[in-house]
Amino acid sequence: MRQAMAEISLTDDTGQAYDLSDLSTGGGRSRDRQEWRGDVLAALDPARKPASVELRPTGRGAPARVLLPPPARVPVGAGAAPWPTAAEGYLAALAPVTTISINQAEAGPEDTAEIVATVADSLLAVGALPATSTLLRQSPASGPGWHTRLVHRWGRRAHRVAQRRGIADIMPGTVEFRPAEHRGLAVRLPLEHATAVIESVSAQGELVSIQLYGHPWVHGEYWPMITPCFQVRATDDAGNEHQGIAGGWQAFPGHEGSGRFWFWPPVDPGRKSLQVTVSTLWEAAWAEIELPR
């Protein structure tokens, strides 16, 4: 095919000749004859602004003229990217993947969910993925979701970072913060069928948590025999909703307990307050809490 194309000349209407040696080959058979389909690349000189080119065989055959119309004049304008940051766009494209082949080994939904969670946590760690991204607030509709894995990965990493900054564990799963990052509260919530007291609130960067005392706080059975006695959620002063993730807890006689709940998605360090809601299966109550600096 290259030999055949060498017998064809290409010239534009300004007299400029072009080399046809750069050939993208293709092929196909149509009934009783051989046909070739492909692309010929010619570097046109924009300074000459040719209006047409002509293909002319060196032997028999008539030439063919191809018009080069000017660019269409249509309204154009800049638009918004699908996501505010490149990291969010990348993660949004990666998240729907449920199977992938790696070194001839098939990774299923469980493995790919772990991969997406690892990528998302890494993007959070270097600050490329904003803690306020709506991607972190979207729960998967079904199947093994990467959100659940990300919550626990980020939680473990956030607690390790807090410890490296001079904050010490006082019991498994709980963290002692410096005074500037911790406020004692002892706020009793107006519940009729249970007792709930927000003992304190702590903030270390994007990691915000509360210490909750509750009664009755029954623990030790397994799903589906038991559901959490207390569930926690919060809304910050910008209207963003956060889920309270149960951390470590300590049991006391008479079905009393005290445990820490940290909030996901991460709380923007620029937020100044949270409306924390504590609920049981029967009722709920809230408290407006100012965050430590």
- Check whether 166 has a pLDDT greater than 60: no
Q: What is the CA radius of gyration of the chain?
A: 32
Find, among 211, 119, 203, the residue nearest to 162 by Cα. 203
Domain coordinates of the chain in residue numbers? Answer: 2-67, 87-164, 178-290
d(CA 241, CA 244): 10
| Non-local CB neighbours of 107 within 8 Å, separated by 6+ positions | 99, 100, 101, 115
Under the banding of pLDDT at 50, 70 and 90, the label for residue 165 is low
The reported pLDDT for the residue numbered 143 is: 47
- Read off the pLDDT of residues 263-282 as tens digits, 9 standing for 90 and up: 999 999 999 999 999 999 89
> Helices in 184-291 by DSSP H: which ranges?
none
86 is written with which tokens? 């490149």
- Read off the pLDDT of residues 184-206 as tens digits, 9 standing for 90 and up: 899 999 999 999 999 999 998 88
Q: Global pTM?
A: 0.69
The reported pLDDT for the residue numbered 180 is: 63
The reported pLDDT for the residue numbered 61 is: 83
d(CA 7, CA 55): 10
The CATH architecture assigned to 178-290 reads Sandwich (2.60)
The reported pLDDT for the residue numbered 175 is: 53
Q: Taking residues 145-156, what's their average pLDDT?
A: 90
- Check whether 168 has a pLDDT greater than 50: no
Q: Taking residues 116-140, what's their average pLDDT?
A: 87
Higher pLDDT, 130 or 249: 130
- Residue 278 sits at the vertex; the CA angle it makes with 272 and 281, to the nearest 5 degrees, is 155
Q: What are phi and psi of 89, to 5 degrees?
A: -65, -40
Percent of the chain predicted with pLDDT > 70: 84
Q: Taking residues 41-60, what's their average pLDDT?
A: 83
> 3-class DSSP state for residue 71?
coil
Q: Taking residues 89-105, what's their average pLDDT?
A: 86
The reported pLDDT for the residue numbered 224 is: 65
The reported pLDDT for the residue numbered 251 is: 86
The reported pLDDT for the residue numbered 142 is: 42
Find, among 252, 206, 253, 249, the residue nearest to 230 by Cα. 249
| Non-local CB neighbours of 282 within 8 Å, separated by 6+ positions | 193
Higher pLDDT, 166 or 236: 236
